[in-house]
Amino acid sequence: MKASSSARRKKSFSSSQATRISAKKSSTTSAKAWAGRFTEPTNALVERFTTSLPIDRQLFEYDIQGSMAHCQTLEKAKVLSKAECQQLIRGLTRVRSELREGRFPFTDSDEDIHMVVERRLTELIGPLGGKLHTGRSRNDQVTLDLRLYLREQLQVLHGKIHAVQAAFVQQASQHINTFIPGYTHLQRAQPVSLAHHFLAYVEMLERDKARIADALRRVNVMPLGSGALAGSNYPTDRTFTAKLLNFPALSQNSLDAVSDRDYVVEVLNVLSLIMMHLSRLSEELIVWSSQEFSFVELPDGFCTGSSMMPQKKNPDVPELIRGKTGRVYGHLVTLLTTLKGLPLSYNRDLQEDKEPLFDALQTVLDSLSLYAGLIQRMTVRKERVAEAVGSGFLLATELADYLVQEGVPFREAHSIVGRLVQTCIKQKQELGDVSLDDLRTISPRFTKKALNFLTVEGAVDRKAQIGGTARKQVARQLKTWEQRLKKRPSM
């Protein structure tokens, strides 16, 4: 037992010498910060498989921002002298410039953005760089970076939703008096103001904004000081760090803080719902821009043509947004699945959080930017819409409600008008074509007044309670939205 453990020690000593030699030999790799405990260099495929640098390098601004606050916290705790802190911060500023200007010397063995920044810092300022990571782990560092990043991205997202809402409100202001067939089951149902239809999307998007603001409350929590999992041995003032980084709250349990990715799931959930809304909008625009409907004309700059059929103008942008919705849902499920089997606290699986998050965010931000432009520039084909609203028995419910006004129970009124519609269909007539005599053949309860109920304007304006499509109501809603959206978008 004794002999074998001393043999192991001997073997390990000579192998670690081998590591040092091989690390020196390679010009593109540098020794890992954690190489001390290892007896051979990392396998090349392992390096490629475990690196997160291609993904997390976009976090560099936040990584450096967090590191600067960490230095100041270490200084306050008297772990660093004032001069050391200043030197570290100056070094970090230089590293940041190199990264910003695209002249940062990456090497093949760089593992992630956190290690890369520290390596370069040490190259630039010498062994003092090695003090940066005192009392910190990449486990609390990475979640800090992600929270700083998300905080900013959620603001951007909020602003982009605001822009789409503004485009819809602008369109709505042009179309209070444009009446379209409202649909249920994609069958003509009742006429509505087109402005009312546009404002429905503004409502949906407002809920998305509310969900962003809610998610932000849980993103906006400062995890640094949790160390690898248990906290840190240094008397760092975490409240001070939080203040420096403008966090309103501190994580209260180090184990939870390094393993928590709920906030990423929440953001992916918000993103999925936004895409679901945009996908439903896409479906509508695809249908509405078809020759069969022809309710809207999409701007040429947002459509593409066919390589074979010269006449084609395709709604590719709405189609792709509808298509990419699956991709964003996929990212949500990816992360939920990654998390479901993880014991406390940090596990490397967590590294898989960033790729789906970044891709989902980019997809949603692009989709929103595209829709802000497309909606603003889309034109409504008023003649086509007027034609559509004039046929298809959209006013049948009005007639039934007229009969109710005359004292007929609704169920009976429904049946009378149902028979009328059936007769019209047989005689190839629309409701607008029927005379009082025709009505009275179906039921003696009809009087001359019934004909007044057969106008689209009347049908729309009778829905006059809060939330209804009456023009007065829609104008009121529109005004409210114009007021609300006038304010600069902020959470």
Binding mask 164-193 toward ligand ARG (x if CB under 6 A, else -) reads: ------------------------------
Closer to ligand ARG by CB, 112 or 260: give it: 112
- Close Cβ partners of 454 (under 8 Å, ≥ 6 residues apart): 395, 398, 399, 431, 432
Q: Fill in the DSSP letter of residue 312.
A: -
Give the pair of three-digit tokens for residue 467: 């939330």
**Which neighbouring-strand residues pair with 190?**
182
Strands (E), 268-364: 296-297
Q: How far is the CB of 7 from ligand ARG (least distance, A)?
A: 29
Is the preceding omega at residue 345 within 30 degrees of 0, hence cis?
yes
306 is catalytic: yes
Which residues does residue 312 pair with via DSSP β-bridges, in sequence order? none
142 touches ligand ARG by CB under 6 A? yes
Q: Which stretch binds ligand ARG (CB under 6 A): 134-142, 161-169, 285-293, 393-401?
A: 134-142
Active site residue 185: yes
- Cα distance between residue 421 and residue 431, in whole Å: 8
- By rule CB under 6 A, what string of x and - marks binding of each residue 222-261 to ligand ARG? ----------------------------------------
Closer to ligand ARG at the Cβ: 56 or 260? 56
184 phi and psi angles, rounded to 5 deg: -130, 145
Residue count of the chain: 491
Q: How far apart are CA 163 and CA 180, in angstroms?
A: 25
Decide if residue 52 touches ligand ARG (CB under 6 A): yes
Which CB atom, from 119 or from 277, has the smaller least distance to ligand ARG?
119
Q: Is 32 helix (H, G, I), strand (E, B) or coil?
A: coil
Alpha-carbon distance 354 to 63, whole Å? 14
Tokens 């270490």 sit on residue: 74
DSSP letter for 431, please.
G
**Using CB under 6 A, which residues numbered 318 to 377 contact ligand ARG?**
346, 350-351
In terms of CB distance, is 74 or 258 closer to ligand ARG? 258
Q: How far is the CB of 347 from ligand ARG (least distance, A)?
A: 9
Determine if 139 is a binding residue for ligand ARG (CB under 6 A). Answer: yes
- Closest separation between CB of residue 139 and ligand ARG, Å? 5
The residue within the footprint of ligand ARG, chosen from 119, 131, 136, 138 (CB under 6 A), is 138
Active-site option among 4, 14, 185, 435: 185
**Measured between alpha carbons, how far is 62 from 131 in angstroms, rounded to an integer?**
19
Kindly tell me which of 133 and 382 has the beta carbon lying closer to ligand ARG.
Answer: 133
Q: What mask, x for binding ligand ARG by CB under 6 A, covers residues 54 to 93? A: --x-------------------------------------
Residue 253: its H or E element = none
Neighbours of 98 (CB within 10 A): 14
Chain residues in the site for ligand ARG (CB under 6 A): 52, 56, 112, 138-139, 142, 346, 350-351
Catalytic residues: 185, 306
